[in-house]
Amino acid sequence: MSGKIEARLAELGVTLPDAPAPAANYVPYVQTGNLVHVSGQISMDEGGALITGKLGAELSAEAGAAAARRCALSLLAQLRAACGGDLDRLTRVVKLTGFVNSTADFTEQPKVVNGASDFLVEALGDAGRHARSAVSAASLPLGVAVEIEGIFEIA
């Protein structure tokens, strides 16, 4: 580990996973200018097993927030890959869009996506503050609970 961001993650007891490979015909990130657009990252646990289920049925908002936090770790892993291994090139998180696999009457999508937002602010400070959308989805790929995509500014 090297750099301020990696040191902060270590203080938090966080180890980033390897950047997940795309599951279909797309790239994991695209850089244009100083912006990196990271494709949607699905909820996976520390061992790489999918975190599946529907919020409002099988999963609570708290379990969904934990799944969203795992998505944020994958976002940072992809960003690290986009930055050639140097996360300190990150200047700010610009925007997250969170998709929550939820029942028609579940209304706590923002609370679920807070799992990612809160983690990014905890890990990155003010650079982790971002614009955001939290959207309900009738289903998500492979039955995952949460998928989050992000836009990041780098130096």
Predicted confidence at residue 2, as pLDDT, reads: 66
pLDDT in tens, 34-65: 999 999 999 999 999 999 999 999 999 999 99
* Residue 154 reports pLDDT greater than 50: yes
Lookup: tokens for 117 = 């937002």
Q: What is the pLDDT of residues 133-153, one digit of tens each?
A: 999 999 999 999 999 999 999
Q: Per-residue pLDDT for 1 more than 50?
A: no
Reply yes or no on whether the pLDDT at 122 is more than 60. yes
What are the distances in angstroms from CA 35 to CA 2, 82, 95, 143? 22, 10, 11, 30
Mean pLDDT rounded to a whole number for the chain: 96
- The answer, yes or no, to whether residue 21 has pLDDT greater than 60, is yes
| Cα dihedral across residues 33, 34, 40, 42: positive or negative | positive
Can you give the pLDDT at residue 46?
Answer: 93
Work out the percent of the chain whose per-residue pLDDT is above 70. 99
Contacts of 16 (CB under 8 A, 6+ apart): 9, 73, 76, 77, 80
Asked if 92 and 36 count as a contact pair (C-beta separation under 8 A), the reply is no
- Locate 54 and state its tokens: 């529907």
Helices 4-11 and 109-124, packing angle to 10 deg: 120
